[in-house]
Chains A and B, each alone.
Chain A
């Protein structure tokens, strides 16, 4: 009796252990895959920036092509506006907002690349946050500075992993736009906000 009890307890312990081990292994594989994918894309951006054969416009085009498959710009637009306001928009309004916001986001990203000199990107670890969320930690390393950038990815319905937010030195891009939009929308209407985005897009280009 005593002995069989012991065996059952042992088996249970082993069961719990192996279950958790099994799930970790399964995810570990996928997570490292995501890390590789992110690394590949980010490396490609740096290689493009360093390529002397391309002129500025060609570089921009190539970089946008690279990140288009990695970033879910449409989701970023939705999250930045927030559910509350998104629901209030008509479908044309949504399309227009998304278009303008994505344009602004891409433009601001490209502007930042203008400051590029000799930085290297080091892709650190990738962490599984939730079942469908992974964060990839990267560092932008220059001669005397190290900037932490975290790419936050989620699994889309098509089973592809895409970036929905980036933290630069702990500052989330989506969160920053989100609080700004909600601040503006306290005083102004949604139409006015879109109007503002439109005029800033015209100024930028």
Chain B
């Protein structure tokens, strides 16, 4: 018994002391800051109250963000700028008008269905990359999603896995897998039509493509023999895969009309802005 009582007592005592200590510290630090600003009056007295931070506090914030003088390694910046301009023009003069026309023709539900369908058949990519990153639970959920959506969801046009079972998709691609194992992004590259990318993600496009069933599409009306030969120097299967991709792009774009324009409003200079947004977003996706 006597052994328990002191332990119990110390618990209460230390608990209350710790609360006092923390509260006291907060109060103390506040007094401290006020003192600091009193003894060192700011040179510009016109700065309002919110602006009058002491240096120490400011530095704490500064540390959270990348150094403003930091140079980004960007050997292709000249080319990247030009390509950003090209892609931007392509979006405004081709993709956006086409997507708007497409939206006018097809009802919302149909376009969502098409999006779901393309998303569903991309299952191998997500499954393999979740597995490669040893995310067993996510890979399992992806497998379940594919099974449910391909059957109950009628070839993936609906998403009952999410709507009924609450299973969310876990987007992973090969670039994220490489990043997960510590491969850096390398310098930034803007790809024609595809937009912002970097060295790592650019090379990852190839394995990603291998896992996208769209690239194995063959148009064979009824049971006619396979179409061989070339058209304008491109083999027919490649051309058909491109057709499918174009359809997918226009369809998905029709569901997010206006978003790019809106994002662009935050840009002071388009290229560095888009580069930064891309790299920050990729870094986050890899962290997860």
Contacts and interface: CB of A to CB of B under 8 A. Distances in A.
Interface of A: 7, 10-11, 14-15, 17-23, 25-26, 72, 74-75, 78-79, 81-85, 90-92, 94-95, 98, 107-108, 111-112, 114-115, 131, 143-144, 146, 154, 156-157, 159, 164, 167, 169-184, 196, 200, 204
A74 B51 contact: yes
B65 interface: yes
Interface of B: 3, 6-7, 10-12, 14-19, 22-23, 26, 30, 33-34, 44, 46-48, 50-51, 53, 58-59, 61-62, 65-66, 68-70, 72, 112, 115-116, 159, 168, 255, 258-259, 262, 265-269, 272-273, 276-277, 280-281, 283-285, 287
Nearest to A157: B33
B27 to A, nearest CB: 10
B44 A91 contact: yes
A114 B261 CA distance: 12
Contact of B68 (A85, A92, A114, A176): A85
Nearest to B286: A170
13 contacts: A11-B6, A79-B62, A94-B44, A94-B47, A111-B262, A157-B34, A170-B285, A170-B287, A174-B65, A176-B277, A179-B66, A179-B276, A182-B68
Contacts of A78: 51, 58
Given A170-B281, A171-B277, A196-B268, A178 B65 contact: yes
> Dominant SS at the A interface?
helix
Given A7-B6, A85-B68, A159-B30, 19 more contacts: A17-B11, A18-B12, A75-B50, A75-B53, A81-B68, A94-B44, A108-B265, A111-B265, A112-B262, A144-B159, A146-B168, A170-B280, A170-B287, A171-B277, A171-B281, A175-B280, A179-B68, A180-B269, A183-B269
B112 A143 contact: yes
Given A14-B7, A18-B11, A181-B268, A115 B44 contact: no
Interface centre among B18, B33, B72, B259 (most CB of A within 10 A): B18
B267 A157 contact: no
B276 A144 contact: no
A22 B50 CA distance: 32
B58 A144 contact: no
B115 A179 contact: no
A74 B19 contact: no
Given A15-B14, A83-B62, A144-B112, A180 B268 contact: yes
Contact of B30 (A94, A146, A157, A179): A157
Contact of B50 (A74, A85, A177): A74
A79 B65 contact: yes
Contacts of B112: 143-144
Contacts of A156: 50
A167 B277 CA distance: 11
Nearest to B273: A180
B10 A14 contact: yes
A16 to B, nearest CB: 8
The 3 residue pairs across chains A and B that have the minimum distance between CB atoms: A170-B284, A82-B68, A22-B18
A177 B16 CA distance: 45
B268 to A, nearest CB: 5
B68 A84 contact: yes
Contact of B51 (A94, A144, A174): A94
Nearest to B8: A14
A7 B3 CA distance: 7
Contact of A181 (B68, B70, B159): B68
Nearest to A22: B18
Contact of B10 (A11, A111, A157, A174): A11
B187 to A, nearest CB: 15
B281 A19 contact: no
A147 B162 CA distance: 15
**Residue with the greatest number of chain A CB neighbours at <10 A, chosen from B15, B262, B267, B269:** B15
